[in-house]
Amino acid sequence: MMKRILLILTCLLTVTTIRACDICGCGVGSYYLGILPDFSKRFAGLRYQHKTMQSHLGAGGATSYLTTAETYQTAELWGGWNIGQRFRVLAFVPFNFNGKTNEGVTTHQSGLGDIAAIGFYNVFSNRQTVLNSKLLVQSLWVGAGVKAPTGRYYQAAKIAGGESPNNFQLGTGSTDFTLNAMYDIRLMDAGINANLSYKINTANRYDYRYGNKYTANLLAYYKFRIAPQVTVSPDAGVLYETAGKDMDAGLQVDVSGGYALMGTVGAEVMLGRVNIGGNFQPVIKQQLADMHVKAGSRMMVHATVLF
């Protein structure tokens, strides 16, 4: 049993050299899963995500009067539906609110982002007693998804070029695909949750292709049962993202690529059929776009109803 658990976690978190999408999860095409609500049939809710970064940095990441401060906010409708015991569908409808300030001038854009859906298959889900009648619960879901080009893509944004990454967009302008895996193991009230996502991007009509994106996160959590209908579950872990180079008309985009390692600390509160939660993700280590870009901390909150 222990060898099986270690093998699954190793497979989920192994990082290979993969071309990646939008830098550090800002801008377009970022769909964070984390710990899903413990639902038996369906859930629907609203999530809010806030991310920041700096671009136009000088040598070694130094700031100057040319440095641009960028903010990416997303209000996202999301939901899930279990179909029988083996299948699950998740859907995401984001509304993006982007802003950037450079040399005292602030630019805003807002609107519908890229709608996405992911289908999952339950490879296994079991419950057994171990270690003197302690309950061990584990499950593994694998799936694939598609992202539609419903968000507006501004061709002029990438023409601006220079030392700015092509992140300041509402959508990628392309139809993209994802491969996903979710593994959860819990011994009584203490658990570990692992998520892996690999996003395969295609070129949009302007022949710009964001690189494929790899994301892996690992969370440890504990369920405190405060009352029959109230459970508080604090969690903590890490999130790792890789970023390679985008391609523009077959040419490599220099100001792109790198990696970011984030910490994660948060909590989920279950109040009957209502799940409220959130997390904060500070940067632990990063190297983005040859140090011309620097990611800031992120945060996410959500309110979800199970039905």
Beta bridge partners of 80: 43, 90
Is residue 16 within 8 Å of residue 255, measured between CB atoms? no
pLDDT at 3: 52
pLDDT at 20: 34
| DSSP string for 115-150 | -EEEEEEEEEEEEEEETTTEEEEEEEEEEEEEE---
Q: How many domains is the chain partitioned into structurally? A: 1
Q: Which of 65, 51, 29, 68 is nearest to 255 (CA)?
A: 68
pLDDT along the chain (307 residues), means of 10: 52 41 54 82 96 82 83 96 96 96 92 96 94 93 97 76 74 94 96 94 93 92 95 97 86 85 96 96 90 90 96
d(CA 56, CA 214): 25
pLDDT at 22: 57
pLDDT at 306: 96
CATH for 166: 2.40.160.40
Tokens of 27: 């801008």
Is residue 167 within 8 Å of residue 25, measured between CB atoms? no
pLDDT at 25: 56
Q: Which of 8, 30, 29 is nearest to 262 (CA)?
A: 30
pLDDT at 158: 64
Domain containing residue 52: 2-306
